[in-house]
Amino acid sequence: MVQLNLKGKGEKMFFSGSYQPRDVQFLLKPASIDTTPVAEKEALIQSGKRHYSEMLSPEAVPDERYMNLYAEALERNAGRLHADIKTLARAIKQREETAASCVVVSLVRAGTPIGVLLNRELERLGVAGAHYSISIIRGRGIDENALAYILEHHAPSEIVFVDGWTGKGAITRELIYSVEEFGLGVEPFLAVVADPAGCAHLAATTEDYVIPSGLLNGVVSGLVSRSVLNDALVGPGEFHACLYMQEHADHDLSNDFLGAVEAATPADRTSQHWNRESAQAAHAACQDMLRSIMHDDRVTDVNRIKPGIAEATRAILRRVPEKVYLSDMADPEVRHMIYLASKAGVPVQERDLGNYRAVTIIKKLGGEQE
């Protein structure tokens, strides 16, 4: 059941989706949002007539075969993710600014389940804090009203922004730019589990692996949609909007996912730990891969390239894909992608992807922009 509360200056509304209120406060505005068919949305985006953040495409509950693939990925990688969450929590506790108190600010929505797990682990380590989940949109920036709300209640130095992974670094750059423009002493410090783009400020690994929550959408993220920002839904002083998908409540796995990760024995990840040197190498490899694909596939807009297992998966689910590249067709980590691509009639090819296991290229549908 949705948890609605009215608090803060201007009686702003936050809620917890299908999570427990103690786990997260979404600083979003639940709204009634009409969905736009995927092909229509893609054409509007590429023509420049609409920004991607202004529209939502419908989300269907995955079929039984795909849910079985998700379950396999969760069984395979829950221990790995558990270990990586512990690594992040220990590193945050070691920072002088966040050793005693940390405010986890996860980025809707891939960051939300990771933020819940991280905040719980920090509490176990004796680090007091809170967890908010807020919107950030490529090309539009962070939700400044949400950030202002957080700063009414917490010191800027306590804030750590959290996401699940880096794709090619667009959200990291957006975070740095918009937070620095916002001012008020907030450091745009981003922590992620997997940093194959080599651009986060803190990560557990540079490896592109299946973070199981990345295979699903709202049913593993508190039944909350991607954030939406348009003038019809969001007025001055309001949080960015979202759709609360209560119609999928019978299929919600958000809390089951948390329980499965925390119940799993943490894997030995000592050899995989992230550091500045590995991040620099990953960043260079990412840029080489992007240049190679842009040259070989004659892609002039890098936004059509979605690297990393999670981003490549979501591009098949939510966009109009042209092709999928995999570094190893026999890799169990990409089994679900082969299934999705087969269902959608999207060709799959094997090629060297450097630091990545998968890349999806969005189809060019015409118009003034790609």
Cis peptide leading into 109, omega within 30 of 0?
A: yes
Strand partners, 185: none
What pLDDT, on a 0 to 100 scale, did the predictor assign at position 272? 63
Total residues found in the chain within this entry: 370
User: What is the model's pLDDT at position 165?
Assistant: 97
Q: What is the dihedral of CA 73, 337, 109, 71, to 10 degrees?
A: -20
pLDDT tens figures, 136-183: 999 999 999 999 999 999 999 999 999 999 999 999 999 999 999 888
Residues contacting residue 69 through CB under 8 Å, at least 6 positions apart: 215, 335, 336, 339
> Residue 66 belongs to what H/E stretch?
helix 64-94
DSSP H or E segment with residue 173: helix 170-182
Contact indicator for 28, 116 with CB cutoff of 8 Å: no
Contact predicate 54/34, CB 8 Å:
no
Neighbours of 258 (CB within 10 A): 19
Residue type, 53: S
Main-chain dihedrals φ then ψ at residue 141, nearest 5 degrees: 90, -175
- 238 near 145, Cβ under 8 Å? yes
Phi, psi of 121 (to 5 degrees): -65, -40
Structure tokens at 30: 């639940």
d(CA 260, CA 29): 29
**Are 324 and 341 contacting, i.e. CB atoms less than 8 angstroms apart?**
yes
C-alpha 195/C-alpha 201 separation (Å) is 9
- Cα separation, 178 vs 188, in Å, equals 9
Neighbours of 77 (CB within 10 A): 20
- Could you list the pLDDT tens digit for every one of the 370 residues in the chain? 333 333 434 445 679 999 999 999 999 999 999 999 988 998 999 888 999 999 999 999 999 999 999 999 999 999 999 999 999 999 999 999 999 999 999 999 999 999 999 999 999 999 998 999 999 999 999 999 999 999 999 999 999 999 999 999 999 999 999 999 888 889 999 999 999 999 999 999 999 999 999 999 999 999 999 999 999 999 999 999 999 999 999 999 999 999 999 999 999 876 567 899 999 999 999 999 999 999 999 999 999 999 999 999 999 998 999 999 999 999 999 999 999 999 999 999 999 999 999 999 999 886 433 3
Query: Given this model, what pLDDT does residue 366 score?
Result: 61
Query: Cβ-count burial of 264 within 10 angstroms (0-12 exposed, 13-18 middle, 19+ buried)?
Result: middle
pLDDT confidence of residue 196 = 96
Of the candidates 355, 217, 235, 216, the one whose C-alpha atom is nearest the C-alpha of residue 285 is: 355
> Tokens in use for 212?
């199981």
pLDDT of 106: 98
Q: Which residues of 169-204 are buried (b: 16+ CB within 10 A; e: fewer)?
A: bbbbebbbebbeebeeebebbbbbbbbbbbbbbbbb
Structural Rg of the chain based on CA atoms: 19
Contacts of 369 (CB under 8 A, 6+ apart): 46, 47, 48, 301
Q: What are the CA-CA distances from residue 228 to residues 24, 68, 91, 281 (Å)?
A: 19, 30, 33, 35
